[in-house]
Amino acid sequence: MILTASHTTTYLYAEPVSVCHTEVHLAPRPHPRQRVISHELTVNPEPAFLTSRADYFGNQITIFSIQESHQTLSINSWNEVEITPAEPPAADLTPSWEEARDPENEFVFRSPFTKKTEAFAEYARASFRARRTLLDAVYELCHRIHADFRYDPRATTISTPVDEVLRQRVGVCQDFAHLMISCLRSLELPARYVSGYLKSGEHSVGSEASHAWCAVQCPGFGWLEFDPTNDTMPNEGHVTIAHGRDYSDVAPVTGVALGGGEQMINVSVEVRPARGI
């Protein structure tokens, strides 16, 4: 399936901004199931400086500076990708979850938006019974998060601690990805955060903005992805942008501005099949 993904972020400032420096993760990441056909990034006002490079995790990061006075900043990313669906491995071919533990892996350590505590391990253990296959255990954890937690975009912000999400049982896709990662890492299972987009549709939860899910490392099969917000393993409706330890590594837009006063931020995302497909 070929998908187009449009992502527009607009900053409206109460006062003029004289200079801003911005970093964006908005380019799709190639992987075996995702071929990048095209990527276009448009910034208005036009930057005085713009460059792209690979970050530590191999994601494309674009850095730009605007050095003229402005009260509106618009960043638009337009992408076209081809997604090749693939069935997950048979559960009984994956190792037990105990065999998949790797306490020295960098994706097992805590990170700014995740935690490793007994509370997360305790929530996870209901799914991780002794000698259960990794795929079965993680899929059940994904299902339980989907069933136990309520999606509400007004309930949290990106700064809401993940342990508060665990207590309150409410949040959005970033919260649920951080929650699932915290559960997995608390059992010494390598897990990473994946950012991207979700194909628009009435049954797609979280498609109106950047989406997030997680992946667990499975010996012999690589990284297996799970979307607890939609209780699924991403297949052909998810567009991958970047992956890292958590949101702090792959935020779509970050930066600093000199001046501006109060600001409003508007974000719109649309993902559709291309060419009438």
For 70-123, how does the pLDDT look when each residue is reduced to its tens digit (9 = 90+)? 999 999 999 999 999 989 999 999 999 999 999 999 999 999 999 999 999 999
Asked whether 62 and 52 are in contact (CB, 8 A), the reply is yes
Give the model's pLDDT for residue 208: 67
Place of tokens 């991403």: 234
Q: Which of 122-126, 129-133, 157-161 has the lowest mean pLDDT?
A: 157-161
Higher pLDDT, 208 or 161: 161
The domains spanning 2-84+251-276 and 91-248 adopt the same CATH topology = no
Give the model's pLDDT for residue 203: 58
With bands split at pLDDT 50, 70 and 90, how would you rate the model's confidence at 277? very low
- Which of 62, 60, 75, 63 has the alpha carbon at shortest distance from 30? 60
Q: Which two tokens stand for residue 246?
A: 């958590």
Domain segments of the chain: what residues?
A: 2-84+251-276, 91-248
Name every residue whose Cβ is closer than 8 Å to that of residue 7 and which is 6 or more positions away in sequence: 26, 76, 77, 79, 197, 210, 252, 267, 268, 269
CATH 2.60.40.2250 fits 2-84+251-276, yes or no: yes
Question: Max Cα separation, the chain?
Answer: 61
Does pTM top 0.85 for this prediction? yes
| CATH code of the domain occupying 91-248 | 3.10.620.30
